[in-house]
Every structure is written in structure tokens, then in C-alpha cells.
Amino acid sequence: MNILLKSVTIVNGNNKDLHKKKKDILIKNGTIEAIATKIDPPAKTKIIEKDNMHVSIGWFDSGVSFGEPGYEERETIENGLMTAAKSGFTDVILNTSSTPTPDSASDIVFLKNASKNLLTKLHPLGNLTANGESEALAELYDMKNSGAVGFYDFKHPISNANLLKIALQYAQNFDGLIFSFPLDRNISGKGIVNEGVTSTRLGLKGIPALAEELQIARDLFILEYTGGKLFIPTISTANAVKLVADAKKKGLEVYCSVAAHNLTITDEALEDFNTKYKVMPPLRTSTDTKALIKGVKNGTIDLITSDHTPLNVELKHVEFDNADFGSIGLESIFGMLNNILDIEDTIAQLSKGREIFNVDPPKLEIGQPANLTLFDPEITYNFTQDHIHSTSKNALATGRQMKGKVIGTVANNQLVINE
């Protein structure tokens, strides 16, 4: 398949010769054939020409959940990856949120086979513990050899400190990446929102910031003792940023992410008890969001994730106390981030991080495989259900003003365009 991208503005911070330049890009059979001011299309070439079209290397999300296997009604792998492609993502890390959860080599092989030959590439995580029960380590080495890029009991904190210690020590034998969700259940108790003025006023049980920070402090002490590679997903408090920054200054190999909604929305959104805002970790205060944004800009926070979590409608359309945690976010992450960061920082954040998972980053260069995201950074619109591609519709972004829209993606010799 031949594709000609006409008059696209290149956003590529790593290549000063191309950055902010308007060029034509010719792609032949999945490879970038030419980049020039004007290219005459060969025969049988699909021409893509849109107003104010920009291009960058394909985007990367370090934390998405689908439903398959077990919850196909929420999201199949195929539709989930199509949603990712339409949202600008050419690589995604898949959380261990299915049932059964992937805790063996055969489970990892199933996930990779189910995603073969699609535009967006899926990189699965495996469970850290057998069945995600936090009692015994899963088959980490076998899963690594089958393609698992890390090990995570999705949203389940590791209560047994010795288990984390053993995991970090063992995984060093094969360069394994260990995830630890930052929550101390003894502190959080039955909390469902951030503990503070808003939770008190609304009469909702609170989760103190201490529950996150205490777990992070413990995990970092263990990491300092054992060595190894630790990933702390979706931090949400100001002190969590400080703890990670201090650990990095010590030279510890620790990485962390933040959910886009924790950067852009505070717990004040809970005023009408809308369950779309019930997420884990919970929405925090403006003090936290400011610290998180600063952590993103100074590099303390390595990655911004959509934390895409599809849920059945009946799990959200209930009383706030009984609703499940989670929101889809692939379709809205670009428009949300582009509201708080400039376009170059937004694209840099959406494009970075593959190296943490030993995934080769794409290059926008002649002779390289075309792995590209097309977007308009200036268009503004109100995000509605019509903008959702996911089977599930539990989006906390609905009703919010967005800046920037994805036009499409090119990868794996395939093209997806949003019409």
C-alpha cells in the first residue's frame, strides 16, 4: 500500500531539520520512502490531505485495559486496539485486568496472537503473582520469554513486603520490570474518594494521600535494598512526586506514571455525585494536580497514561458507593493534555517511554517503518459520546472542552483515518 501525506507539519523534537517543517511524506509498503517539500504521487497511491494536519511518531500508552478474555462485552482486544489506533496510539501496554488474568506463558501467547496483524501493537503485562492473589509469584521468567514486558497485579497493592523483595531480586536475573500499585489498604480502608474538604462535605468515605505515600515509601526502601527495576503506576499526590524524585536522585531505577485525569480534574468534580468521576487512584486536590504537572515537566514522572478502563454500564449507573472504579480515556487523552501543555510537550509526553519496556521506539526518517500519528492540534470541541470508539461508554471526559483531535494513524503497513 502506498500512502502520500500531503503538506503535514512535522512535530519531531529529536530532529531539528524536520521539526515544525511542512512536508510531504511518501510511504511505500509500510516504509517511509521520501520526505520532501513536494512529492508527486506514484500510481495507486492513497493521498491524505487535511487542513492543519500535523504528524509525529506514533503514540504510546503504558496502561490500558480491555475486556478479553472474560469481559468481551466491555471491550474485545480487536476493538480495543482499533480504539487505540483511532486515538493516535500505535503501541499500548495491556494491563492484567482480564479473567482469567495472565499468569502463565500460554496466557501471554494468547494475548499476542489475538492482537496479531493489527495496526496498533499490543505489549502484554503478566501477573506478578499467581491468579493475582498476592500469595506466590507467577511464572515470571516463562512469561518474559513469551513476550510479557512487565509484571503487575492490576490495581491490587502488594501487601506482603517480602513478596515484593523477592520479586525484585528474582527479576534481576532476566531484566524484569516489577509493578507495585501505590495503595496501603490498611490506611485506605473502605474509602472511595480523596480524603479532604470535598469528601467531608459530601459525606463520602475518604482515601488519605498517606495511603499512597506510605506504600511508595515502603516500596522505595525495598528497592534500595534489593536493586532491580520498579514501576509505580498512576501516582496521584504531591508527596508521591517528591518521594519518586528523591529516589531517582539516589540513583534507584524507579519509574512512574500518572493518569491524564489526575492531571486535569480535581475532586471538586464530585459535587454532583456522578460516578464517571469514581476512579482509582481518586481525583485529588488542585495542590496535587499542580505538583503532578510539575513532575511531568521536570521528568520525575516518566509517563502519562490514559488508564483506559472499560466497564459495563450497570457497574457505573448505580449509587456512588456501589459503582466500580474506572474510566475509559484513550479517545480523550490528547485533547485533555493539549489543554494544559503546549503542543510540543504534549506530543513528547505521548510519544515517550517505550524504552522502559524494551520496546523499540519508531523514527520519523527515510527508510524507517512508518509508525505515525496524524492530528490537528488547534481544533476545539466538546467531548461527547459521539467521540467514543470503545464498546464501553464510561468516560469521565464527556462534557469537557478539548483542544486537538486525532486524524488517524499509520503503522504495520496499515492506515486508519477518523472520518
CATH number at residue 99: 3.20.20.140
| Ordered alpha helix ranges (H), 299-418 | 333-340, 343-351
52 Cβ partners below 8 Å, 6+ apart? 9, 376, 377, 378, 379
408: β partners: 374, 417
Rounded mean pLDDT of 287-308?
Answer: 98
- Count the domains in the chain: 2
Least Cα distance to 267 among 277, 276, 275 occurs for 277
Rounded mean pLDDT of 236-261?
Answer: 98
Same domain as 331, residue 401: no
Residue 14 confidence (pLDDT): 73
87 Cβ partners below 8 Å, 6+ apart? 306, 330, 331, 333, 334, 389, 406
Q: Which of 334, 357, 380 is the last residue of a domain?
A: 357
pLDDT at residue 320 greater than cutoff 90: yes
Same domain as 105, residue 50: no
Same domain as 138, residue 267: yes
Same domain as 284, residue 175: yes
Question: Is 307 noted as a catalytic residue in this protein?
Answer: yes
Same domain as 370, residue 341: no
pLDDT at residue 419 greater than cutoff 90: no
Same domain as 197, residue 123: yes
The DSSP element (H or E) to which 138 belongs, if any, is none
Same domain as 167, residue 101: yes
Same domain as 79, residue 50: no
Q: Longest Cα pair distance anywhere in the chain, in angstroms? A: 66
Work out the number of other CB atoms within 10 angstroms of the CB of residue 406: 23
Same domain as 342, residue 278: yes
Q: Which of 338, 357, 376 is the last residue of a domain?
A: 357
Active-site option among 107, 307, 321, 386: 307
CATH number at residue 25: 2.30.40.10
Same domain as 332, residue 380: no
pLDDT at residue 13 greater than cutoff 80: no
Interval 105-136: pLDDT, tens: 999 999 999 999 999 999 999 999 999 888 99
Instruction: Give the range of the structural domain holding residue 34, as residue numbers without chain letter.
Output: 2-55+365-417
414: β partners: 411
Same domain as 310, residue 391: no
Q: What is the pTM of this model?
A: 0.97
Same domain as 187, residue 122: yes
Work out the number of other CB atoms within 10 angstroms of the CB of residue 107: 23
Q: Which of 357, 383, 404 is the last residue of a domain?
A: 357
What does residue 211 show for φ and ψ, rounded to 5 degrees? -60, -35
Interval 58-115: pLDDT, tens: 999 999 999 999 999 999 999 999 999 999 999 999 999 999 999 999 999 999 999 9
Residue 134 confidence (pLDDT): 87
What does residue 408 show for φ and ψ, rounded to 5 degrees? 170, -175
Least Cα distance to 396 among 279, 287, 304, 284 occurs for 279
